[in-house]
Structure formats: structure tokens, C-alpha cells
Amino acid sequence: MKTLQFREAIVEAMSEEMRKDESVYLMGEEVAEYNGAYKASKGMLDEFGAKRVIDTPIAELGFAGIGIGPTMTGCRPIIEFMTFNFALVGIDQIINNAAKIRQMSGGQFPCPIVFRGPTGSAGQLGATHSQAFESWYANCPGLKVVVPSNPADAKGLLKAAIRDNDPVIFMESEQMYGDKGEVPEGDYTIPLGVADIRREGSDVTIVSFGKIIKEADKAADELQKEGISCEIIDLRTVKPLDYEAILKSVKKTNRLVILEEAWPFGNVASEITFHVQSHAFDFLDAPIQKINTADTPAPYSPVLLAEWLPNHTDVVNAVKKVMYK
């Protein structure tokens, strides 16, 4: 094992795959000369050159489409959005082209492409730079959606995403790029669609993903002091979703809390809630609790932002509610 920052794990994953496969290349705003807006492609231009690490104009619709086209001739592009808020400019290409090429060509053309970049809030960046679109993309058949929460998962999942023959939405966070963690040496991948039991417990299941899962960790530590044992599931992949892991845990703990950085209407937590009550209703000892952001655009005020974004206290309160304490 070695210790890497999250951004370094991203660089390693892309670089290793580009060394192995000449059809893989990286394209996006400031990925080359500037080493990436968040230094998540540092050193790649020097190693692979301007034909495989390509700076683009500020035109997401254009370079999303330019990336999708070559998948039909054998290329495996990685398209970086400076933030997924900007991916909305190119969402027509993602939803109407990338997600549908395989089906509409009768299976003749797979679309092996990775769209990656930051998701969710990252402090006081304003409402248009603080949105989580995981459930939007997960709602579209043909797309896979990955949201890692630590450097080891980031590397293993990104390598698997690059090798996948379907389009993958790979969502990171500005606030995680500096996170450090142990990463296995050598070549390894993590299968898409397999959740991680981040912490084993017996009293309540907490499901989350991405950077917000850190609040679940804090809550579990606090609740442990009160004798409440929390099992934490890190989804890692939102689509496909590891329903089996969630159901198995709920059947053990009989209680479920879902923590997600997203607006409360029609999100990943809603889908999980429906699935669990459909397939494990008789195992539940309390109604499922889901924790989301407030149903408003993200505020700029630090005081309001703290109220808008879920935190570990919200998790503690939700767990106590399902425990009837």
C-alpha cells in the first residue's frame, strides 16, 4: 500500500490505462498545459503529449460530442468537465447520444467513454456551482454512474470505468482532491455496481456515497459512545445500484437511514427507500429515514449553507429516530 491524495489516484488511474491502451485519451478544459483545474492530470501532458492530453475551448457541448464520435471507431476517451454543473451544457450529447448509441445501432457501436469531474457543493461557490446530478444521470438507461469517496476506490473504480464498454459518469468532488488514503500497489480494479461495507454494525444501516459519507462516519463514532452500532454502506456506484448489499444489511439491522447530498425530491435515496420497503418491509422495525439538502438552490451565505447541507448531527438525530430514542 502507498499513501496518495485523491487527485494523485485519479492521475495514476488514467496514466496507467493510457500506457496500456493507446486508444485512451484525455480531453477537457485546462487538462494539459495547466495540469488540470484541480491538478488531477498533473504531468500527463509531458508523458503522453498533446495528441492524447487535449486542452479544449470552454465549450462542453462541443467537446462532449467530439469525444462521443470516436468511440464508434475504437477510441476510449476520458472527458473532463471542470464541474458537472457545466456538463449541463453538453447533456444533450450525453443523454441523446452516448447513452443511446449501442441500442440505436442494434449493438453495432458500443460507447466506451468516461465523463468525469466534480459534483455537489464545494463551499461558497453559489447555487449554479453547487449541484449534485447523480440521480439525473442515473435515471437515464445506458449510463453508469460512479461516485467514489476515497483515493483507493477512486483509482480502482476509474480504471474499471475506462475499461467498460458503456458510457460512465464518474463524479468526484473539489473537496476530496486533497484527501489522502492508502492505495494498493500495482494494477487493480473495483467492479462497478458493488457497494463497500465501510463499517460493520448491528443496530442500524446507514447508506451513503461520495464526500458526504464522511458525515456518516462522524455520526457513527458519536453514536458508538452511546452504545449504538452503525453499519455504513458506501454505494460507490449509483447505477448500477447494489441492492443486494443494502437488503442484506437491513435484514440484519432492521433499520435504515440514507444520507445523500441532493435535493429531496426523486433522488437516489427515494429509489433505495422504495426498493427496501418493497423487498424487506417485514424486516423493518421503523420507517426509513432519508437525509437530503434543503429543497432550495444552494445558498452563498456560510450560515445558510451550513443549514442547507446535511451534517453528522442530522445523521445522529435520524438514527435516534429509527431507534426510538
Q: Which residues are catalytic?
A: 60, 129
Phi, psi of 75 (to 5 degrees): -85, 160
The DSSP symbol for 98 reads I
Residue 193 CA to residue 208 CA, distance in Å, equals: 14
Read off the C-alpha cell for 288.
426509513
Report which of 154, 150, 57 is spatially closest to residue 114, judged by C-alpha positions: 154
The residue type found at 118 is P
Q: How far apart are CA 113 and CA 163, in angstroms?
A: 9
- Packing angle of the helix pair 268-279, 243-253 (nearest 10 deg): 60
CA distance readout (Å), 213 to 15, 179, 241, 279, 297? 28, 13, 16, 25, 21
Handedness of CA 223, 249, 290, 287 (dihedral sign): negative
Cα 162 from Cα 75, distance rounded (Å):
11
Q: Is 76 exposed, middle or buried (0-12, 13-18, 19+ CB in 10 A)?
A: buried
